[in-house]
Chains A and B, each alone.
Chain A
Amino acid sequence: MSFLSYLINGISLGSVYAIIALGYTMVYGIAKMLNFAHGDIIMVGGFAVFTIVSTMGGSSAVGILVAVVICTVLGVTIEKVAYRPLRGASPLAVLITAIGVSYLLQNIALLVFGSNARQFTSVVNVPALKLAGGELSISGVTIVTILSCIVIMIALTAFINKTRIGQAMLAVSEDRGAATLMGINVNGTIAVTFAIGSALAAVAGVLLCSAYPSLTPYTGSMPGIKAFVAAVFGGIGSIPGAMIGGILLGIIENLAKAYISSQLSDAIVFSVLIIVLLVRPTGILGKKMNEKV
């Protein structure tokens, strides 16, 4: 039974990675940039809920809503101020700016909230599920996390395939120049992508902090990097890939923690990245893109 519970916890952690990885993979697919600050938006979402619920005594629904709004606005602002002026610049410059933004968010949070870990009260009030005569207990947070991941995944796929904005996103990711010629507002589409990605990051932040209730300015950076690993694992740019990669990575991490060494679990997760890049650089569901000269 212990193996099964590790597996379920792994899927739950993996679902959080999957939600974060969705944001990464969408931004990477459409804006062709690695948004390093994505992980720190998770942290901002966590602190927003913490401030509303624990400090100001608001209800958790209000807290989550406010966190989503704050993160969306933040994501769009970052895109407009820091990334948009660099459109057309070298990828190196964009990457360094993204690292700068990530660092800026962390250090502002450090100045505002201090470096001490805050105890995050879970905003998920779902009773634990007892299976197999109480031997296997699945916590409420785990259930909610896995369910929200599935819902988000389905909603996002429908959004991209059925709506005009979604189709515009696909077009921009395929060929930005051609999309512009077809009358698609490229800047607007990229802004929408950032908005969706950041809103997802806020949700991921709430779920992450509910499962692991210690909140510091650095809370988001590690899950952010691991989610990127998940996105690469599943095939960067692919939405089902992000989901599969995230969940597999969560399972690998939890099983490694349980059966190999808890100190080495991060090292094992990152070794997965190197192995994937060595064996199948396009990831599980990635398509090989030929370069045009």
Chain B
Amino acid sequence: MKAYKNKILVQNLITYGLVIICYIVIQALMAGGHINSLLKGILVPLCIYVILAVSLNLTVGILGELSLGHAGFMCVGAFSGAFFNHAMSETIASDQLRFVIALFIGAAVAALFGILIGIPVLRLKGDYLAIVTLAFGEIIKNVINVLYVGIDGNGFHISVKDVASLGLEADGEVIIKGAQGITGTPKTATFTIGIILVLITLFIVLNMINSRTGRAIMAIRDNRIAAESVGINITKYKLMAFSVSAALAGVAGVLYAHNLATLAATPKNFGYNMSITILVFVVLGGIGNIRGSIIAAVVLTLLPEMLRGLNDYRMLIYAIVLIVMMLMTSSPKAIEYRERILASFRKKETKREA
């Protein structure tokens, strides 16, 4: 058992180390002026994608359920975080402090939505979570696009029609402007904060996996009935994994909101495509493999930037990646073939030793 624990510790340290080394290398390159502005611009998005991929892997790889609404949770986090930032802009003077509190708010709101979605769905068996989370993403996008929220001396005003129907007083300020979203959020997100959040995400996810909770969750994934019969509370643990995953997506959303001047819910940033893109990171990196998710997220984000010609075919390649990866890793024939190859290797080795 101790050897096993040590092995996990070493593996986890490698993962943390990888992130820290990347950070140091990029900082050194930046200090030397070797990084162009294009690359500089995608450093924070890279952190966002890594957080999203790692947190989605918690749902897909560890819990064994498919979530197609990860972008929806990101959207919830982004809007609640940015909303908090605007609403508190006079009460709390420091931009940084507001950003840090916004991170917690975004995580909490996303987790709340995760629980709300999870309660009806996670007690069911089957593929319902995929379709419900997909629906959730669409609902959130639709609702935010018609939502107007303003603030004045009397408190908050909410409307689903237009700015005029908010009935704000002269000193009032409109925070969420329907399809235009939230504008003028301070650009507080930096690469350093992004990396710190990546490390915190990794810390939460890796510790969760190697805890009693994580083992319970994986037991449910591997055999629901057996897990239930040894007294594991299925709904509780499923809900726990799912809401933690949603909360981390919310954190990524807050980071996203504080990296852009305007935040609007479009199909491009919070739509179905975004959820699929994150899923591709998870699948290519290896389902259940956290380090793989990080590497896949970085490679698949950098590659289209480097090879502009590939951009038209990006989604097509993603689709092929999904199909081919699944056929190669999960089809019973492929598994059998792989085992036969491995067995023949092993046989050769034993012969040589003899």
Q: Which residues of A contact B (CB under 8 A)?
A: 33-34, 82, 85-97, 99-101, 103-104, 106-108, 110-111, 221, 225, 228-229, 232, 261, 263-264, 266-267, 270-271, 273-274, 277-278, 281, 291, 293
Contact = CB atoms under 8 A, between A and B. Distances in A.
Contacts of B132: 273-274, 277
Contacts of B104: none
B131 A232 contact: yes
B42 interface: no
15 contacts: A85-B327, A86-B327, A86-B330, A87-B332, A88-B332, A92-B60, A92-B287, A95-B130, A103-B319, A104-B323, A108-B316, A228-B131, A229-B131, A267-B138, A277-B124
A232 B128 contact: yes
Interface string B222-263: 000100000000000000000000000000000000000000
Instruction: Identify whether the interface residues of A are mostly helix, strand, loop, or mixed.
Output: helix
B316 A111 contact: yes
Interface in B302-354: 312-313, 315-316, 318-323, 326-327, 329-334
B276 A89 contact: no
A33 B326 CA distance: 15
A277 B287 contact: no
Nearest to B179: A263
Given A95-B127, A264-B146, A277-B120, A100 B326 contact: yes
B1 to A, nearest CB: 28
Given A107-B316, A267-B143, A270-B136, A90 B330 contact: yes
B26 interface: no
Given A232-B131, A274-B135, A92 B327 contact: no
Given A85-B331, A264-B143, A273-B132, A104 B319 contact: yes
A34 B131 contact: yes
Given A86-B331, A229-B131, A264-B142, 14 more contacts: A86-B327, A90-B64, A91-B127, A95-B130, A96-B66, A96-B326, A100-B326, A101-B319, A103-B276, A103-B315, A111-B313, A264-B160, A267-B139, A291-B125
Nearest to A236: B126
Contacts of A293: 225
Contacts of B283: 96
Contacts of B279: 96, 99
B286 to A, nearest CB: 13
A72 B321 CA distance: 25
A34 B130 contact: yes
B270 to A, nearest CB: 14
A95 B136 CA distance: 18
Interface residues of B, number: 51
A107 B315 CA distance: 7
A261 B68 CA distance: 25
A86 B320 CA distance: 16
Ranked nearest first, the 8 interchain pairs of A and B with the lowest CB-CB distance are: A100-B322, A93-B330, A270-B135, A103-B319, A278-B120, A104-B319, A100-B323, A85-B331
Nearest to B143: A267
A100 B329 CA distance: 15
A273 B327 contact: no
B188 interface: no
A271 B319 contact: no
Residue among B60, B130, B334 with max Cβ neighbours from chain A (10 Å):
B130
A106 B127 CA distance: 22
A34 B330 contact: no
Contact of A281 (B124, B135, B146): B124
Given A95-B127, A104-B320, A281-B124, A274 B117 contact: yes
Contacts of B225: 291, 293
B136 A277 contact: no
A206 B189 CA distance: 49
B137 to A, nearest CB: 9
Given A107-B315, A108-B316, A264-B146, A273 B331 contact: no
B134 A107 contact: no
Nearest to A262: B146
B95 to A, nearest CB: 33
Interface in B145-191: 145-146, 160
B160 A261 contact: yes
Interface in B266-305: 272, 276, 279, 283, 287
A228 B126 CA distance: 14
B330 to A, nearest CB: 4
B326 A86 contact: yes
Residue among A90, A97, A100 with max Cβ neighbours from chain B (10 Å):
A100
Contacts of A263: 142, 145-146
A270 B138 contact: yes
Contacts of A225: 131, 134-135, 138
B184 to A, nearest CB: 24
Nearest to B331: A85
Contact of A82 (B117, B138, B146, B327): B327
Contacts of B327: 82, 85-86, 97
Contacts of B312: 111
Nearest to A231: B131
